[in-house]
Amino acid sequence: MKDVVTLTRPDDWHLHLRDGAVMRAVLPHSASQFARAIIMPNLDPPITNTEQALAYRTRILEAIPNGSAFQPLMTVYLTDTTSPSEIVRAKESGHILAAKLYPAGATTNSNLGVTNIYKIYSVLEEMQKQGLILLLHGEVTDPEIDIFDREAVFIERVLTPVIRDFPTLRIVLEHITTQNAADYIREAPATVAATITAHHLLYNRNAIFNGGIRPHNYCLPILKRECHRQGLIRAITSGNPKYFLGTDSAPHSRQRKETAYGCAGCYTAYAAMELYAEVFDASRALHQLESFASFNGPDFYGLPRNTGTITLYRKYTLSPDRFSFGIDDLIPFRAGEKFEWQLVK
């Protein structure tokens, strides 16, 4: 049994940092774990153009703790009115790697998202030409569709036509949650990959209702059945380079989670690598952690792999109950519970 794991410093290919005081509260956690992260643009108001993305990048860089070389990799938020010329500007900036498609109304701050994929076909054409990556929140918002089926229907109604119509566009189906999605990605062309969160690998949907309603385990896409969790584990331990790490760490204040109309999101960034290590270890696949966390993402994005390393030790620790988060508290995923691994900081 391995008790120490050293791996190339990983990256987080899907991260919510928010802004202002709350961003300053969470950023040091990601900076201590990861070299780079793809920063989600769903602020309020969202980051819909290059100028906003570059200004947001500057605010992040100013908040990075001294001594950290953390690099934010920026994205822009697609709307029905995004223009192809905005894609050209984004690419020219040198700091924007991807554009994010939120189906309108799918999740936090997605109201200005895309209402119909065909409305942005000229934008996708330009992204394909410019080599900007398309990031997908892969859920339909049709209220007729059961919440547990929204990912599968998205694959059928949106992803399949986009892959067919844009054969060289690089696409990441983010935070996949089902066996079907994992299978689909495996069989898709090499231009298509997926990120997987730690929370979808650790918990199934029972965790939302365990002994009472658990708002801190509510995220979108929602946790699925155990057979799907097992399917995701098989995917990441298969060694297939199409799957890589994206925490989707999504901090919300305690007040916005513990309420009648609570926000979706699990805050995992403070212990992301500890959580992923636990998953790989439980499947006796710790040797696969490095490619998932540190190689597959940069290889897909066409970026160099990182040069430094991190080390994780097998050691029981207790997670903090809370972090301060601006004027409120942030309750982390697994608050006050046991961890099996510890990252040496």
- 137 forms part of the interface with ligand DOR (CB under 6 A): yes
Angle between helix axes 50-63 and 20-33 (nearest 10 degrees) is 70
Near ligand DOR by CB under 6 A: residue from 9, 14, 16, 24: 16
Going by their DSSP bridges, the two strands 192-196 and 243-245 should be labelled as parallel
List of residues contacting Zn ion (CB under 5 A): 248
Whole-angstrom distance, CA of residue 314 vs CA of residue 282: 12
Q: What is the smallest separation between the CB atom of 286 and Zn ion, expressed in angstroms?
A: 26
Residue 72, strand partner residues:
37
Partner touching 332 among ligand DOR, Zn ion, none, CB below 5 to 8 Å by kind: none
Which of 11, 146, 165, 248 is catalytic? The answer is 248
Residue 87's φ and ψ, nearest 5 degrees, are -65, -40
Kindly tell me which of 83 and 253 has the beta carbon lying closer to ligand DOR: 253
Q: What is the smallest separation between the CB atom of 263 and ligand DOR, expressed in angstroms?
A: 6
Q: What is the smallest separation between the CB atom of 316 and ligand DOR, expressed in angstroms?
A: 28
Residue 125's φ and ψ, nearest 5 degrees, are -60, -45
Kindly tell me which of 107 and 296 has the beta carbon lying closer to Zn ion: 107
Partner touching 108 among ligand DOR, Zn ion, none, CB below 5 to 8 Å by kind: ligand DOR
Kindly tell me which of 201 and 220 has the beta carbon lying closer to ligand DOR: 220
Near ligand DOR by CB under 6 A: residue from 107, 178, 195, 306: 107
Whole-angstrom distance, CA of residue 239 vs CA of residue 235: 8
- 265 forms part of the interface with ligand DOR (CB under 6 A): yes
- 222 forms part of the interface with ligand DOR (CB under 6 A): no
Partner touching 219 among Zn ion, ligand DOR, none, CB below 5 to 8 Å by kind: ligand DOR
DSSP-assigned letters across all residues of 207-240: GGSTTS--GGG--SSPP--HHHHHHHHHHHTTT-
E strand segments, the chain: 4-8, 12-15, 36-39, 71-77, 96-101, 133-136, 171-173, 192-196, 243-245, 309-318, 323-325, 328-330, 338-343
- 219 forms part of the interface with ligand DOR (CB under 6 A): yes
Calculate the alpha carbon distances from 246 to 9, 26, 58, 336 in Å.
Answer: 14, 16, 22, 23
- 250 forms part of the interface with ligand DOR (CB under 6 A): yes
- 200 forms part of the interface with ligand DOR (CB under 6 A): no
Kindly tell me which of 248 and 278 has the beta carbon lying closer to Zn ion: 248
Kindly tell me which of 108 and 291 has the beta carbon lying closer to ligand DOR: 108
SS3 148: helix
Whole-angstrom distance, CA of residue 100 vs CA of residue 300: 16
Whole-angstrom distance, CA of residue 50 vs CA of residue 38: 15
- 231 forms part of the interface with ligand DOR (CB under 6 A): no
Kindly tell me which of 86 and 248 has the beta carbon lying closer to Zn ion: 248
Q: What is the smallest separation between the CB atom of 50 and Zn ion, expressed in angstroms?
A: 21
- 285 forms part of the interface with ligand DOR (CB under 6 A): no
Tokens of residue 103, six digits: 């189906």
Q: Catalytic: 299?
A: no
CB 204 within 8 A of CB 223: yes
Which region, judged by CB under 6 A, interacts with ligand DOR, from 159-167, 259-267, 288-296, 323-331? 259-267
Active site positions, annotated: 248
Contact positions vs ligand DOR (CB under 6 A): 16, 42, 107-108, 137, 219-220, 248, 250, 263-265
